[in-house]
Amino acid sequence: MTETAPEVRGGFPDVRPVEDAPDELGPFVAALRRLQDLTVSSKPDPALWAAATEHLENACALLDGHQVPETEAVAGRVLTLPGLAHPLMPPWLVTDSGPDGVTMAGHFTTAHIGGNRAVHGGMIPLFYDWLLGMVVSTADIRPTRTAYLHVDYRKITPIDEPLTAQGRISRVDGRKVFIDATMTSADGSLLSEANGLMVRLLPHQP
């Protein structure tokens, strides 16, 4: 048994993908993403903000009291839904995965704009951190934490256009897992590339 085997890894939760998510979750998360897009692109009458706030508070009241531990929560763990059904993640899907790495496809929306219809620079590392996590999970290297993540921006990343990203393990050195990744546009142009280090946790590490 290794020091990173599930049986001896301490209290780190074993969060696995959910395969039986309710059908109602996808439309709910899609509505939340739509709300985020509208929030940053609308200028309604002030009274409409108050009316919308009331609706949101009612929705919160419906869900409040149903919180569960992260190992039981569904949103953020559904591989078949965009962004794993996490409303803060961009709507991307894993299209291919295996020992050679992970390929994802998707797009960014209005909520991700940093200026002039380009994706905010801070959203790109968030996406890559997610991609690196998918790479090590697919390779069954877990649990890990991100030790560093370096991103090179090659071109402006557009919103509302189909994009592709790929990540693969370039080297493993003990507990260290080095990963290279790229993001490209539909015409194959390189938009950004990243390299990162994921480190397997020791049993006492949270």
What's the predicted TM-score (pTM) here? 0.90
Q: Is residue 205 part of a domain?
A: no
* Strands, sheet with 163-173, edge to edge from the N-terminal-most edge strand: 92-98, 101-106, 163-173, 176-185, 190-200, 144-153
Which pLDDT tens digit goes with each residue over 53-93?
999 999 999 999 999 998 899 999 999 999 999 999 999 99
Give the chain's mean pLDDT: 92
Residue 56, classed as helix, strand or coil, is helix
Q: What percent of the chain has pLDDT over 90?
A: 83
Which pLDDT tens digit goes with each residue over 103-126?
999 999 999 999 999 999 999 999
Pairing of strands 176-185, 163-173: antiparallel
Determine the Cα–Cα distance for residues 34 and 27; give it in Å rounded to an integer: 10
Q: How many domains does the chain have?
A: 1
What residues make up the domain containing 35? 6-200
Determine the Cα–Cα distance for residues 155 and 51; give it in Å rounded to an integer: 40
Q: Is residue 1 part of a domain?
A: no
Q: Is residue 44 part of a domain?
A: yes
Confidence of residue 154 (pLDDT cuts 50, 70, 90): very high
CATH code of 180's domain? 3.10.129.10
Does residue 164 register a pLDDT over 70? Answer: yes
Q: Is residue 67 part of a domain?
A: yes
Q: Is residue 206 part of a domain?
A: no
Average pLDDT over residues 180-196: 98
